[in-house]
Structure 1
């Protein structure tokens, strides 16, 4: 058997789950629309590991990975957010959804170009993390029955902030090597964000944990990078 079939099959499953997410979202099933994005994350995490374990990493595999990521963590979350509430804001909601997908594309393109330049951290929020922020927040919102209309225009603005973080120069830890210094203050703020989400989302605690992880990570990068810029630490 061709060993490359294993990682390429997992990469393909990433796209399959992304398409299932979009189809579920179009059908009004936001639960499975969100869950399929998380399943795509699992497939995305396994393909690279299996390729390295089997020593079959290839350029075509890398290209497939980026193309699948754009669907699963760019287009699918944008459609999920649009169906959840962005559609209520007309043109502004459309802009927010398209902006998220566009930023995902820019993030992937920049990552591919900078693979030999950027080491020890992610420049900008990784697109799987951005997509999963949308997915896990959707699961939590539906679980606790929160009325998003109370946020008014804050929801589309938050979606666009997540999108911008993906193309920003904020440094996020990749947990693979020695990156920037990880400051105690940033860790405390991230922990506080995580605890706050658990408190307010206690009725859907499992979804709150998932959303809390991605939200705390997003906030940690902003605070940690800001501190390092101010102190000059790398």
Structure 2
């Protein structure tokens, strides 16, 4: 059963991306952005869940990449085609479609990179980060200059395939007993997404707040494990201080 949990989260990522695309086609771009951020949450949890449960495998890695290209490559590109590049017709669709091509190459390069290296750092900006930024820009498209958007949009596309080193936080420990804290936040964001769609009221602000809360919980509870050497040094220092106090007495 536990082997299915990470894959279920990955499928949640993929399905959220699919719903985002469907909403864009139906003209509901604001709620489409909400579902891209829901996909981002699923993506943040599936890898960690796999490492905590000890069920990491190549199938999960490939599934994650397939879901990411849909949710953070294709979905944001379609958002851009129907907002910033809407007036360009088929040419706007072609231009926006270059973004997922860069993202696809970045994911392929990631999949052939040794795991020991990906645990330390990412090479190029992750497609999840790039797609999330694009979705956020679309959400604020009414107040964002098209020139500024193009600079950021194409800059992100280039950075995905660049050799820029981005720190990886995969080694941050995630205690099994504390993973339950993530479940309420998960349900909360899913609830926001569903209610946002039903009532046609984008709750993006609340989604961002929930993501920030998750980041705070993650930073507070999921701290890196200390090495045994550091612990041994502290024990030695403590014993040394006790011996000194005994000698003085």
TM-score under structure 1 normalisation?
0.68
Coordinate RMSD, CA, aligned: 2.6
Please state how far the C-alpha of 1:12 moved relative to its aligned partner.
0.4
- CA distance change for structure 1 residues 170 and 31 in 2, over 3 Å: closer, same or farther? same
- Residue 167 of structure 1 pairs with residue 147 of structure 2: no
Tell me if structure 2 keeps the 8 A contact 1:37–1:73: yes
- CA distance change for structure 1 residues 60 and 132 in 2, over 3 Å: closer, same or farther? same
1:28-67 alignment to 2 at 5 Å?
Answer: 28-67=27-66
Please list every run of 5 or more consecutive structure 1 residues that lacks an aligned counterpart in the other structure: 178-204, 214-234
- CA distance change for structure 1 residues 117 and 135 in 2, over 3 Å: closer, same or farther? same
Tell me if structure 1 keeps the 8 A contact 2:78–2:93: no
What does the per-residue CA deviation read over 1:115-135, in whole Å, with 9 as the maximum and x for residues that have no partner?
A: 346342211110000000011
Partner residue, 2:2: 3
Please state how far the C-alpha of 1:91 moved relative to its aligned partner.
5.5
> CA–CA distance in 2 between the matches of 1:176 and 1:155?
31
Q: Quick check: which has more Rg, 1 or 2? A: 2
Tell me if structure 2 keeps the 8 A contact 1:7–1:47: yes
Number of aligned residue pairs: 178
> CA–CA distance in 1 between the matches of 2:149 and 2:135?
14
Partner residue, 2:131: 131
Tell me if structure 2 keeps the 8 A contact 1:96–1:156: no
Tell me if structure 2 keeps the 8 A contact 1:7–1:48: yes
Please state how far the C-alpha of 1:154 moved relative to its aligned partner.
4.9
Tell me if structure 2 keeps the 8 A contact 1:104–1:166: yes
Tell me if structure 2 keeps the 8 A contact 1:24–1:30: yes
Partner residue, 1:187: none
Tell me if structure 1 keeps the 8 A contact 2:33–2:136: yes
